Structure formats: C-alpha cells, structure tokens
Amino acid sequence: MTQAPESPADTHVDLQSDLGWALGVLLRGYAKGAQSVIADVPGGPRGYQVLTSAVDGTACTQLALANKLGIDRTVMTYLLDDLEQAGVIERQPDPADRRARRIIATEAGRATLCALQRKLRHVEDRVLGALPEDERAQFRALLRRVAVSIDERDPLDNACGVIEAAGVEPATRARRRKSG
C-alpha cells in the first residue's frame, strides 16, 4: 500500500536541517577566516589555488590550469603575472610545445604555501570545532569525496562567469584597471 504524501501542515520545517542552509553557514564561516589568511596572496582564493596546483605538480600548462580551475584565460594571464611578480611561481617553456608555458612553483612559493596551509588548517579547525578531531577527519574525507564526484560529473567551466553574474569584479582585473 502506498502512503499518501504528507501535507505541508504535517511536515516539520526546520531550517537547521536544510542542507543548503548548513552549506551556506559553513562556507561563510570558512570564507571569513580564510579571507584574512590569503589576503596577501595575489588573486586571493584563485591565486591560492594556482599556487597549490603549481606546488602539487598539477598546474601543467597555463591553458590547462585555466580550464581546470574555471578561470578565464585573460584573467589567468593577469593572475600569473601577479604571482610571478610576487616570486611564488614562474612560467617555463613546455618541453613538448615551446609555445605553451608550464607553471612551476618557486622555493618561495613552496614556503608560502606551507605557511598558508598551516594557517588555513587553524581556520578549518575553528569552523569544524563542534566536531571531535576524529570526526573532523571523517567529515573532510566525506566532503572531498562528494566534491570530487560532483566536479567529475559537472566540472566548473568558468568561475569568472559565475562571479560576474553575481556582480563581483575579479580583484586582479579591478587592480589592473586602477593602476593602468
């Protein structure tokens, strides 16, 4: 026998049980803490992601990295210029295609990333402070698994488009326009 759907009057509504609300609060808490940690990284969160990719060896070429991170190619060029000027990455000719550039972390870039990751771990611990340490590790692993699965099914095509649709101008482009 099929049970009739519950009527709205029979449904208990609890905002704290809503996944969207919980993800929003979690993201807001993390973003507030992380913002101060990565404030000095050229490009902010994007610069941090580029630096991480350069250190872990997944940066490959400039174009491949732009596609992987969902960053417009023009914005990526400015971002890489800023990161290179800061001394944390360098662009080297790709041995397989001299027209392409590989993104390589410098020693200063590796040290910078190490320091940033330590600070970000403290931010994560504050955000996840309601969980015991073993549950934090489990939560991180589960979240990573879900994120990787979603990214495989529906990769981000253009983070800049998402940001522009929200009416926020990428910091690197705004800084260039002010200085140039």
Over 60: is that where the pLDDT of 179 sits?
no
Token code pair at residue 25: 């609060």
Total-model pTM: 0.72
Residue 79, Cα to own-chain centre: how many angstroms? Answer: 14
Q: What is the pLDDT of residues 43-61, one digit of tens each?
A: 999 999 999 999 998 878 8
pLDDT band at 100 (very low <50, low <70, confident <90, very high): confident
For the chain, the first-to-last Cα distance in angstroms comes to 71
The residue ranges of every structural domain in the chain are: 33-179
Q: What is the pLDDT of residues 126-171, one digit of tens each?
A: 999 999 999 999 999 999 999 889 888 887 654 444 444 444 444 4
Mean pLDDT for 71-92 is 95
Residues 155, 175: Cα–Cα separation, whole Å: 28
Q: What is the pLDDT of residues 14-41, one digit of tens each?
A: 888 888 999 999 999 999 999 999 999 9
pLDDT band at 9 (very low <50, low <70, confident <90, very high): low
Q: 33-179 in CATH: which number?
A: 1.10.10.10
pLDDT of residue 169: 47
Count Cβ atoms below 10 Å from residue 129 Cβ, excluding itself: 10
Mean pLDDT for 62-72 is 88
Q: What is the pLDDT of residues 101-130, one digit of tens each?
A: 889 999 999 999 999 999 999 999 999 999
Helix axes 62-69, 73-85, angle to 10 degrees: 110
Diameter over CA atoms, the chain: 71
pLDDT of residue 162: 44
